[in-house]
């Protein structure tokens, strides 16, 4: 990657981290610290969703329930969710690069499929959760949909007003030319 300075904007609260080296950003993605809704930028003006940057390797969509998906995300995030007990080796994943489908057990090393429980660490205290992220993403999408509907309604009203004005001008033009 040619760009030496990067920034990460968290979707959860809008906080911006950086400047970061690209290697730092890659490591954060590998460590499941970059969510599919987070955005990255090299200039803090033009932002793109993190999964759009191929070098972050956010290549996997996780099927967390019937018609419920999380991602695209990294192998590191998948390993974290297995460790938290939120998914298992039998959970289906799709590779976004080639659309191949497989089970988590097919892409993670066996040691990561059955990690030793961490002493004195409650799973509920973990900072990331597929289910919580899904609920948040649903809320974000519902809000975006509502905003899009309002914008469409506003645009439709504006088009109706402009069409009425056009008809007035056409009518006035016809009256003058008679």
13 and 100 part of one domain:
yes
103 and 154 part of one domain:
no
Domain boundary among 125, 152, 170: 125
- 64-83 residue pLDDT tens: 888 888 888 888 888 888 88
Domain boundary among 80, 105, 125: 125
39 and 100 part of one domain:
yes
Domain boundary among 89, 109, 125: 125
26 and 57 part of one domain:
yes
Residue 173 belongs to a domain: yes
Instruction: For residue 72, give the H/E element and its range.
Output: strand 68-73
79 and 163 part of one domain:
no
Nearest-angstrom CA–CA distance, 55 and 136: 26
Instruction: For residue 64, give the H/E element and its range.
Output: strand 60-65
Residue 1 belongs to a domain: no
Q: How many domains does the chain have?
A: 2
Q: How do 60-65 and 6-9 pair as beta strands?
A: unpaired
**Would you give per-residue pLDDT tens digits along the chain (178 residues)?**
556 899 999 988 888 998 999 999 988 888 888 888 899 999 999 999 999 988 998 889 998 888 888 888 888 888 888 888 888 889 999 998 899 999 999 988 887 776 555 555 444 434 455 555 656 666 676 777 788 888 888 889 999 999 999 988 888 776 655 5
| Helix (H/G/I), strand (E/B), else coil: 134 | helix
59 and 72 part of one domain:
yes
Rg (CA), the chain: 24
| φ/ψ of residue 68, rounded to 5 | -125, 125
143 and 174 part of one domain:
yes
| φ/ψ of residue 60, rounded to 5 | -120, 135
135 and 50 part of one domain:
no
User: Global pTM?
Assistant: 0.57
111 and 143 part of one domain:
no
48 and 87 part of one domain:
yes
150 and 95 part of one domain:
no
Residue 177 belongs to a domain: yes
83 and 160 part of one domain:
no
| Helix (H/G/I), strand (E/B), else coil: 173 | helix
Which domain range does residue 13 map to? 6-125
């Amino acid at each position: 990657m040619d760009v030496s300075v990067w920034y990460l904007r968290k979707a959860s609260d809008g906080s911006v981290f950086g400047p970061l080296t690209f290697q730092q950003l890659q490591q954060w993605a590998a460590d499941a610290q970059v969510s599919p809704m987070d955005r990255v930028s090299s200039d803090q003006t033009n932002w793109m969703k993190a999964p759009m940057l191929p070098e972050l390797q956010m290549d996997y969509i996780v099927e967390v329930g019937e018609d419920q998906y999380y991602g695209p995300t990294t192998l590191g995030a998948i390993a974290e969710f297995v460790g938290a007990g939120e998914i298992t080796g039998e959970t289906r994943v799709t590779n976004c690069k080639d659309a191949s489908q497989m089970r988590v057990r097919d892409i993670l090393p066996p040691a990561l499929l059955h990690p030793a429980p961490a002493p004195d660490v409650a799973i509920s205290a973990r900072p990331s959760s597929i289910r919580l992220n899904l609920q948040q993403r649903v809320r974000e999408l519902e809000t975006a949909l509502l905003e899009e509907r309002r914008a469409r309604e506003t645009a439709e009203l504006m088009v109706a007003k402009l069409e009425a004005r056009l008809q007035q001008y056409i009518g006035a033009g016809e009256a003058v030319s008679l």
